[in-house]
Chains A and B, each alone.
Chain A
Amino acid sequence: MEGIEERFHSVQLTPELCQGCVNCTKHCPTEAIRIRGGKACITSSRCIDCGECIRHCPGHAKTAVTDELSDLKKYKHNIALPAPALYGQFNADIPVRAILAGLLKLGFDEVFEVAHGAEIISLAIRDYLKRSGVVRPAISSACPAVVRLIQVKFPELIENIVPFDAPVEVAARLARVEAQRLLGLKAEDIGVWFITPCPAKMTAVYQPLGTEKSSISGAIAINKIYHDLFKLVTAEVQDARRQASWVGVGWAVPGGETTAIGVDNILIVHDINHVTNVLEQVALGKLKDVDYIELLACAGGCIGGALTVENHFVAEHRMKRRIEKKKIQDPKRGILPRTEYTDFELGLTGRRAIEPKPAMRLDADISKAMSKIEIMDATLKSLPGLDCGSCGSPNCKALAEDIAQGRASLTDCVFLLRNKVRDLAYEMVNLAAKLPPPLDKEKKEE
């Protein structure tokens, strides 16, 4: 766990609410959390902002830091970028246009659907998969938590990730350019806000993946604006601006991305634990005959994001109904899926390679790392192997690692501590029976 750097994470702890229970440590896919001093501590270099700890914290101590509507004041012109997942929070009979109108009433000057970006990326991936020499299976770059998981835990699979931005980044760039061109605004006067279903996207704004600087100004959680938005959205008031087609909107549910790309030989995997398992398989050289893998960190895809409000099964059902409706209605309204895109729209010029960030290394010096592995192995043998997590590390193996790293001690294990207390107690009883000589004398006098 070396290489700890100060970097921004959306997922944060509210210490007053943390009871020091071990739920989050157990659910963290990268074993980034330890309970120390009765509070959860997140190791920055390992955190991928997937939001699993937010989902599982019974005290709601884990939260996602996102921007606020009040931050809109910082800019003259504010553009909302709604994730398709936002639409799943509403009944299917509330049209997308009504939701967009609601966002305008909330204080945004313009809306630009992320689904537009999704349509562009879908076409680009379709063309990319036709190229020769593509490392198979190609892996989707859309979910930032998955990309970070690969950086941290599967750095050898970075070359499998398709070399494109996530749809939201494309949408942000286009929305920005459009506002500059049509309204003659300066770049610094435009605020571009992603209405986000998850903390990983928030982190991606401040720590961009594959681009130098994000075109997004900030991210506002769906659950933060939902209450106000819900009251403003009515089917009667609709925004008539150009809309993305069902193809882009479909990205909110698992399988939507691969459907949009139009590739058949695929695998769709959601839920971070399943994603980890599949990446293990890819790393072992399996699944080379698969063209494309759509990987989503949240169970149920983006509509299952930790910052959404609706149960993800409910949202998925609504979303599927909405998409079926759109498939029929969109063509009648002249809304058709995109068929073309330009390199400018794709934004290839600003891209840089996604770098590996392996965080599992025990020491920068390999011989020191070897000694630590030896300590770990020896320590693990003396631990009870119950994986109870009471020590504050997620399992016995992690405690052994923490001990080897000098961050924990054997007595952190409650079972080893109990044995030690018992041994001490026996010793005390034995000692008590051994009376000192003067008292021995008194006894004889009696």
Chain B
Amino acid sequence: MPEQGIELEFVLEAADFDSAGEASSKIKRTLQQLGVRPDVIRRIAISAYEAEMNVIIHACRGVIRAEIYSDRTELVVDDEGPGISDVKLAMQAGYSTAPDHIREMGFGAGMGLPNMVRCTDKFDIKSEKNVGTKLSMIIYH
């Protein structure tokens, strides 16, 4: 018997700041309806939001998918975009490639990836230059 779970998927478009945060909010609401612990929900929502913003700021388009099981939530964020040339550098707190106009909006402080690592139990990043980036994260409930 396959494992019972809820799957939520959202398409993200570059520079679509109007709907930024919608995917994370919906994921959060579903987790609340499932009765997942508040502190766990907070970590999932923050990870999803940071990943969502990364796609909107840096990529062309992408998909965020949340698979929620009774004991864990798996987040996969797959984008088509420029990719990250130096993943190790990008993982450092404060390192950012966001252009000035994004920083002026209050984003791109270089905390996104470190935040995701901090909030998740398993974190994996695969990036290919000029193709895209794929993040896989697991948070245990």
- The answer to whether A and B come from one shared complex is yes
Measuring CB to CB, which residues of chain A are less than 8 angstroms from any residue of chain B? 155-156, 158, 280, 283-285, 356, 358, 360-364, 366-367, 369-374
Determine how close the nearest CB of chain B comes to the CB of A344; give it in whole angstroms: 33
Q: Does B78 sit within 8 A of A, measured CB to CB?
A: no
Q: Is the CB of B41 within 8 A of A366?
A: no
Residue of A nearest to B34 (CB): A369
User: Once the chains are docked, how many angstroms separate the CA of A373 from the CA of B36?
Assistant: 14
Q: Is the CB of B115 within 8 A of A373?
A: no
Binary CB contact string for chain B from 28 to 44 against chain A (1 if under 8 A, 0 otherwise): 11101111101101100
Q: Is the CB of B35 within 8 A of A361?
A: yes
User: Once the chains are docked, how many angstroms separate the CA of A285 from the CA of B43?
Assistant: 9
Determine how close the nearest CB of chain B comes to the CB of A149; give it in whole angstroms: 14
User: Once the chains are docked, how many angstroms separate the CA of A284 from the CA of B24?
Assistant: 8
Determine how close the nearest CB of chain B comes to the CB of A207; give it in whole angstroms: 20
Binary CB contact string for chain B from 48 to 64 against chain A (1 if under 8 A, 0 otherwise): 01100000000000000
Task: Kindly list chain A residues whose C-beta atoms are within 8 Å of the C-beta of B35.
Answer: 358, 361-364, 366, 369
Task: Kindly list chain B residues whose C-beta atoms are within 8 Å of the C-beta of A358.
Answer: 32, 35, 38
A-B residue pairs in contact (CB < 8 Å), sample of 23: A156-B42, A280-B25, A284-B24, A284-B45, A284-B49, A285-B45, A285-B49, A285-B50, A356-B38, A358-B32, A358-B38, A360-B33, A363-B35, A366-B36, A366-B70, A367-B4, A367-B70, A369-B33, A370-B4, A371-B4, A372-B33, A373-B34, A374-B6
Other than the known A360-B33, A363-B35, A366-B34, what 19 A-B pairs have Cβ atoms closer than 8 Å? Answer: A156-B39, A158-B38, A280-B21, A280-B25, A284-B21, A284-B45, A285-B49, A285-B115, A358-B32, A361-B32, A361-B34, A366-B36, A367-B4, A369-B33, A370-B4, A370-B5, A372-B33, A373-B6, A373-B33
Interface-centre pick from A283, A361, A363, A374 (highest chain B CB count, 10 A): A283
Task: Kindly list chain B residues whose C-beta atoms are within 8 Å of the C-beta of A370.
Answer: 4-6, 34, 68, 70
User: Once the chains are docked, how many angstroms separate the CA of A367 from the CA of B49?
Assistant: 26
Task: Kindly list chain B residues whose C-beta atoms are within 8 Å of the C-beta of A373.
Answer: 6, 30, 33-34
User: Once the chains are docked, how many angstroms separate the CA of A173 from the CA of B50?
Assistant: 45
User: Once the chains are docked, how many angstroms separate the CA of A364 from the CA of B45?
Assistant: 21
Q: Is the CB of B38 within 8 A of A155?
A: yes
Task: Kindly list chain B residues whose C-beta atoms are within 8 Å of the C-beta of A364.
Answer: 35
Binary CB contact string for chain B from 1 to 40 against chain A (1 if under 8 A, 0 otherwise): 0001110000000000000010011001110111110110
Q: Does B46 sit within 8 A of A, measured CB to CB?
A: yes
- Cross-interface CB contact of B46 among A285, A369, A372, cutoff 8 Å: A285
Residue of B nearest to A401 (CB): B33
Task: Kindly list chain A residues whose C-beta atoms are within 8 Å of the C-beta of B5.
Answer: 370
Closest 8 CB pairs of A and B: A361-B35, A156-B42, A156-B38, A155-B38, A285-B46, A360-B32, A284-B49, A366-B70
User: Once the chains are docked, how many angstroms separate the CA of A372 from the CA of B50?
Assistant: 29
Residue of A nearest to B141 (CB): A366
- Cross-interface CB contact of B28 among A283, A356, A372, cutoff 8 Å: A283
Task: Kindly list chain B residues whose C-beta atoms are within 8 Å of the C-beta of A369.
Answer: 33-35
User: Once the chains are docked, how many angstroms separate the CA of A368 from the CA of B63?
Assistant: 28
Task: Kindly list chain B residues whose C-beta atoms are within 8 Å of the C-beta of A362.
Answer: 33-35
Interface-centre pick from A158, A280, A285, A371 (highest chain B CB count, 10 A): A285
Task: Kindly list chain B residues whose C-beta atoms are within 8 Å of the C-beta of A367.
Answer: 4, 70
Task: Kindly list chain A residues whose C-beta atoms are within 8 Å of the C-beta of B38.
Answer: 155-156, 158, 356, 358
Interface-centre pick from A156, A360, A363, A373 (highest chain B CB count, 10 A): A156
User: Once the chains are docked, how many angstroms separate the CA of A284 from the CA of B115?
Assistant: 12
Task: Kindly list chain B residues whose C-beta atoms are within 8 Å of the C-beta of A363.
Answer: 35
Determine how close the nearest CB of chain A comes to the CB of B73; give it in whole angstroms: 12
Determine how close the nearest CB of chain B comes to the CB of A355; give it in whole angstroms: 11
Task: Kindly list chain A residues whose C-beta atoms are within 8 Å of the C-beta of B115.
Answer: 285
User: Once the chains are docked, how many angstroms separate the CA of A158 from the CA of B41?
Assistant: 13
User: Once the chains are docked, how many angstroms separate the CA of A285 from the CA of B25?
Assistant: 12
User: Once the chains are docked, how many angstroms separate the CA of A364 from the CA of B46?
Assistant: 25
